[in-house]
Amino acid sequence: MVSIKGGWAIQVNGCFWHRHAGCARATLPKRNRDLWTEKFAANVERDRRLARALRAEGFRLLVVWECQLDERPAHVAAKLRRFVANAA
């Protein structure tokens, strides 16, 4: 989600696909490890490019992880409210 007027963006990442560091959900499949390693590396690099591009354009970026939404939804809701309020 991006607010052009507000100058902020929220990126919601799946832990598996976007390789949430230290998260048990960021597993590596046993079959075709080379393929998966390459795919995951491309996802992470694309995320980095997107974040750099948004920040270069003056956007504030908040990244929310899938596990945070599942395990601590009230914490994520509070974090989102603070982020949006500070961006206003």
Tokens of 26: 């960021």
In whole angstroms, give the CA distance from residue 49 to residue 76: 24
Strand partners, 60: 8
**Cβ–Cβ under 8 Å, residues 83 and 8:** yes
Give the list of residues 6+ apart from residue 45 with CB closer than 8 angstroms, or none.
none
The per-residue pLDDT for 7 is 87
* Mean pLDDT score, 65-86: 94
Strand partners, 8: 3, 60
**Cβ–Cβ under 8 Å, residues 51 and 61:** yes
The per-residue pLDDT for 48 is 96
What CATH number should be reported for the domain whose range is 2-87? 3.40.960.10
36-64 tens-digit pLDDT: 999 999 999 999 999 999 999 999 999 99
pLDDT band at residue 20 using 50, 70 and 90 as cut-offs: very high
The per-residue pLDDT for 84 is 86
